Structure 1
Amino acid sequence: MAALGATALALGFGLTPATAEAQDWPSGAVQLLVPAKAGGGTDAGARIISAQLQEQIGEGVVVVNSPGGGGAVAAEQVRTADPDGQTLLYYHTGFLSTYHTGGYDHSPVEEFTTIATFPVGGSFALAVDADSPYQSVDELIAATKETPDKVTLGVQFRSGSHFMAGLLTKASDAQFRMVEAGSDADKLVQLQGGQIDAAFVNTPGTLQYVENGDLRILATIAGNPERDPGAPDFPSLHELGYEEAVYGLDFIVLGPAGMDAGLVEQINEAFAAVLGNADVTEKLAQMRMPISPMGVAESQARIASSSEAVKATAEMLGLTN
């Protein structure tokens, strides 16, 4: 029997060799590298998913917050890890922006393994402090033209928020002073502290501050022109006439290049099962962050297509090196 080898045994039981090899996953605790600070929307979603994933696979899933370098530090740890599925990156497609603007040297599409892509129903909010003099997007834009380079717009350079800011600037001829404001959690603090006048922050994370009376949302931006169903009281930038301001993000799970195909399918299916869990669905809905699973082939096609679109946008905005 031993002379048949693993391949023959696998085929004899109707499995591909890749599927047979994948059954050892996980071999211990799985590290989920999250390039975001604790407290933001990306981190919160990762923790909801990881808690259920831990039950799903019967091993620990450790969320490691590593926001350094706009995601580059976490990405490098995953890129250079063993391709055994024990070290994974949980982030969003803002990572593509970082790559296409020169903030990271390794292609998320070509130098990693795409395990899963999760389209996100939701948006980002153009937010200001509750005491801000700007009651509308038009007022904010007008102020930038009256006093060029004075109104500060907080972004994370080379990330999705930088692209959103660039698209709004292109659509409106605004003259913001864009400043590095870090992650969403950082932006929320700086908005309330008056260090920045406005910022693009994920809408679910912003709404609690709106409800508390600390912030105000002027408009939203998403991957489609419509209002965000999770925040229907706020107009989209496209609706207000800024038609080029359309930009959305997907969450992604990446592993090192060279992962076994059967292992990739197994991990993808584990995440899909998590997102099919009613408790997880409810918690994400409460965060106004509905997430949908996709299979491996769909995920890989979607991230490749997104990468090309981000590259074209970066070139249009003059953000490439």
Structure 2
Amino acid sequence: METTAAKTRMTTTRPALQRLAAALVTVSAMMLAPASARAENWPAKPVTLIVPYAAGGTVDKVARQIQEGLRKRLAQPVMIDNRAGAGGTIGTGQIARSAADGYTIGMVFDAFATESYIYPKLPYASQKDLTGVSYMVRSPMVLVVPASSPYKTLQDYVAAAKQPDTVSYASVGAGSSNQLVAELFHEAAGTSGTHTPYKGGGPAINDLLGGHVDSMIASLPLVMPYVQAGKLRALAVTARQRDARLPAVPAVAETYKGFEAYSWVAMIAPARTPPGVVNKLAAEVNATLRDPAIAKTLRDGGFEVIAGDSAQANKLIQEESARWGRLIKACHIATE
């Protein structure tokens, strides 16, 4: 049986525990209130959009397509800040170190998912220090050769690549999506190619046009103008099916079942950015992407509008990291 003292202790303890619980609820509410307030009031000042690549590149083009529309939706200036260098890691590092308040955000492309494999000494952890905001757009990639190339079809190219050290391919740098998709293609076809890295898409395309390198697998927006002008010949696209903009060009998957790869662009923010701000930003960005005029311009430029939310962006980054991480390790790919 309980003693009188024990009953007294229980009687005294219960109200104390109740007061403690009430205090914890109050403190929790106070801690959450600023984040909620920030989400409700955001944005109250200009937003800086860091593009970790040079002006005129793929990510920069998408950023400038949405800049004005996003400004209107946010009712605040949206300033693009190009911070190129080190494969995009300089600008991405700046995003990671920025205040997590929604006023400094960034845009990246597919290489973001694999940079931790290529640059193991990064001063930030890509998936820990940053979070996805929107899976914005994607585009198939295209295997192209110069118009003067003897390779008229995908089969011609594969037959040549069966012989070691016969076919070379360009990329915008070691570990880039150009190299990764090319290596995935050669793995599927049982062929090989000599990798020729360049410091950017411009130099790579120039040497390809001049016949100094045999081929390149590059994003559709980058090569489509040259294909349409008859300066490059498209041999295959990396989408699951043929692309309506290049209906005569077969998909790699028609020959190698299941082959599929895309170049993509996503918006990111510092990981501790309040969820309410991230969700509001994602909603405004995606509404901008779906604007009929903006969506048409992007489609005409070779992009497919996805307008996915934060969860979709993070899922994409995680899946792409796992997929290409395997290939990077298998092929011993590293910066040069």
TM-score (normalizing by structure 2): 0.81
1:32 and 1:62 in contact (8 A); partners too: yes
Q: CA deviation at 1:30?
A: 2.4
Q: 1:237 aligns with which of 252, 257, 268?
A: 252
For each residue in 1:65-109, what CA deviation from the matched residue of structure 2 results, as whole angstroms up to 9, or x when unmatched?
Answer: 333111111111111111122222211232112223336634322
**What is the count of residue pairs matched by the alignment?**
305
Determine what percentage of the aligned residue pairs are the same residue.
25
2:233 matched to which residue of 1? Answer: 216
Distance 1:103 1:50, change over 3 A: farther
Equivalent position to 1:154, from 143, 167, 170: 170
Distance 1:103 1:151 in 2: 30
- Are positions 1:304 and 2:318 aligned together? yes
Q: Aligned to 1:83, what secondary structure does the other structure show?
A: coil
Give structure 1 regions of 4+ aligned residues with deviation exceeding 6 angstroms.
Answer: none
1:295 aligns with one of 286, 309, 312? 309
Distance 1:242 1:317, change over 3 A: farther
How far, CA to CA, are the matches of 1:284 and 1:152 in structure 2?
Answer: 31
- Shift in CA distance, 245/101, structure 1 to aligned 2, threshold 3 Å: farther
Paired residues of 1:167 and 1:244 also in contact (CA < 8 A): no
- In structure 1, the residue matched to 2:11 is none
Q: 2:126 aligns with which of 75, 93, 108?
A: 108
8 Å Cα contact 1:52-1:274 kept in structure 2: yes
2:148 aligned with 1:131, yes or no?
Answer: yes
- Letter of the 1:82 partner, please give it: A
Deviation at 1:53, TM superposition (A): 0.9
Cα distance in 1 for partners of 2:281, 2:169 equals: 39
Q: Quick one: structure 1 residues 64 and 189, their matched pair in 2 at CA, closer, same or farther if it must change by over 3 Å?
A: farther
Residue 17 of structure 1: CA displacement? 5.2
2:113–2:318 contact (8 Å) kept in structure 1: no
Distance 1:243 1:207, change over 3 A: same
Tell me how far apart the structure 2 counterparts of residues 19 and 115 of structure 1 sit (CA, whole Å).
18
Residues 95 and 199 of structure 1: CA distance in aligned 2, closer, same or farther (over 3 Å):
same
Q: Which amino acid aligns with 2:128?
A: E
Is the Cα contact below 8 Å between 2:137 and 2:303 reproduced in 1? no
Is the Cα–Cα contact under 8 Å of residues 141 and 263 in structure 2 kept in the other structure? no
Unaligned runs of 5+ in 2: 1-24
Instruction: Measure the CA separation in 1 of the matches of 2:63 and 2:203.
Output: 18
Distance 1:179 1:67, change over 3 A: farther
d(CA) in 1 for partners of 2:44, 2:158: 54
- Looking at structure 2, the residues matched to 243 and 183 of structure 1 have their Cα atoms a distance apart, in angstroms, of 31
The CA deviation string for residues 133-165 of structure 1, in whole angstroms up to 9 with x for no partner, is 22122322333444x335321112112112101
Query: Partners in 2 of 1:238 and 1:144 — Cα distance?
Result: 18
Higher helix share: 2
The residue identity in structure 1 corresponding to 2:167 is V
The alignment partner of 1:174 has SS state of: coil
> Please, which of 267, 271, 282 is the counterpart of residue 285 of structure 2?
271
Q: Is the 8 A contact 1:27 1:86 kept in 2?
A: no
Which shows bigger deviation, 129-138 or 273-282?
A: 129-138
- Aligned 8 A contact 1:98 1:104 in 2: no
Partners of 2:186 and 2:161 in 1: how far apart?
Answer: 10
- The alpha carbon displacement at 1:198 in A equals 1.0
Q: Which residue of 1 aligns with 2:299?
A: 285
Aligned-partner SS, 1:109: helix
Distance 1:198 1:288, change over 3 A: same
Contact 1:26 1:57 in 2 (8 A): yes
- For 1:290 and 1:219, the matched residues in 2 are separated by 18
Alignment-derived partner of residue 99 in structure 1: 116
Equivalent residue for 1:261?
A: 275
Larger displacement relative to structure 2 (132-141 or 70-79): 132-141
Q: Secondary structure at the match of 1:84?
A: coil
Q: Distance in 1 between matches of 2:88 and 2:121?
A: 8
Shift, 1:286, TM fit? 1.4
Q: Which residue matches 1:89? A: 106
Distance 1:158 1:76 in 2: 18
1:108 maps to a residue whose letter is S
* Residue 183 (structure 2) pairs with residue 169 (structure 1): no
Query: RMSD of the alignment, in Å?
Result: 2.6
Alignment partner of 1:63 is 2:83: no
Deviations 1:226-279 (A, max 9, x none): 22233222111121x234642223321111221111111111111012112111
Structure 2 Cα separation of the partners of residues 292 and 16 of structure 1: 33
Pair 1:25 & 2:42 matched: yes
Would the alpha carbon gap of residues 140 and 37 (structure 1) be closer, same or farther in structure 2, given more than 3 Å must change? farther
